[in-house]
Every structure is written in structure tokens, then in C-alpha cells.
Amino acid sequence: MTNGRFLIIPASGQPIKADAWIEEAGTDTVTITRHPVEQGAQITDHAIVEPARVNLRLGWSNSSPRALSTSYIDEVYAQLLALKDARLPFKLVTAKRSYENMLIAALTQVTDERTAHALFVSVTIEQIIIVQTQVTSIGTDPSVMANPESNQPVANLGQKQATPTTLFNRNAPGVQDQIGP
């Protein structure tokens, strides 16, 4: 075990720092299309960057210098559960790098006779990708259109009656011979 740099920084509330940083496994993935890509196409349009994922094993102990009471590990665990349940993005700082907009996806703790006064957790933290969208109105002024006849907005032209095509017109010459009586 090493006391590596690990810190969860919620948007509001107290930062959470591990007493023992046991393991960190970060995953950065790109999902690549399985379909053929046309020669000369932008390859970036066919490869999607997935959210970052970090699996951590961390520990806290009631004998830590930060433990102000014998309920220290219970308080830390309650903070982790509250952060998971709040589903509000936070910053994660690990020994390898910093991650923005993270959420706790899974939190596992195991207690046995050896760890009754300690808290060991496995936590899976995933990035949520946040984007901004805009609403844009498209003008319908025909004077600024290159082909106004094909770009005009839909207009009500009244009721129209469908007319059969020659192929399906039973009375057309030669049709009776092809489809029978």
C-alpha cells in the first residue's frame, strides 16, 4: 500500500482523500466502426471516444491521523455513498492524472475480521461527457434561397385526388391480357 495522491473534489462539499491508495486502473477507449469506411473519408467520424473509466482500490482506517473519532471510516463511507447517490459530476485527481466530470458508477466494500476497523473499497468512476447544444432557426425567405422552388416550406394546396398509373389501370390497352380477368 502506498499513500499516493488521490482526491475526489465534489462541486460542493468536502474533498475526499484516501488514507491508502492501493490500486488505480484507468481505461481510455475508442470505439471503432466495424462497417467499411469510404476511401478519403474523415476517419474521426467513424471512431468514437468513449468516456474515461477509472477503477480504484482505496483504504481508510480509524487509526489514521485524520481520524477524529472511531466513526471515521463510517463517515468516509457515508460520504462516498452520498456522492454516488447524488449523481453530480466531480473532479478526480489520481497519481497519474486529473479527470473532469466524473460519477461513481459502482462502489464495493468488503469487511471481514481483519478489516473491521478499516474501510477498503473498490470504486468504479466513469466520466460523463457534457456538451452544449444550440437551437438555430432556418430562414424561409425565398429571396435568399438558391433554388426557392425546391426549398419552399410546405404549403397547403388543398385536397388532391390520387390518379392510378397506367400499369395498374385495368382499362388501359393490353393490361387485361397481362393480369387476367
Each residue of 145-161: pLDDT tens digit? 777 777 666 677 788 87
Sort residue 10 into left (φ over 0), alpha (ψ -120 to 50) or beta. Answer: beta
At the top level of CATH, which class does the domain 7-33+45-127 belong to?
mainly beta
- Of 85, 71, 91, which Cα lies nearest the Cα of 16? 91
State residue 78's pLDDT score: 94
State residue 1's pLDDT score: 39
CB 111 within 8 A of CB 101: no
Q: For residue 48, list its beta bridge partners.
A: 31
Q: Is the pTM of this model over 0.75?
A: no
| Domain boundary assignment for the chain | 7-33+45-127
Q: What percent of the chain has pLDDT over 90?
A: 46
State residue 3's pLDDT score: 46
- Site of grid cell 469506411: 37
CB 67 within 8 A of CB 61: yes
State residue 101's pLDDT score: 96
Confidence band of 65 (pLDDT split at 50, 70, 90): confident
Confidence band of 122 (pLDDT split at 50, 70, 90): very high
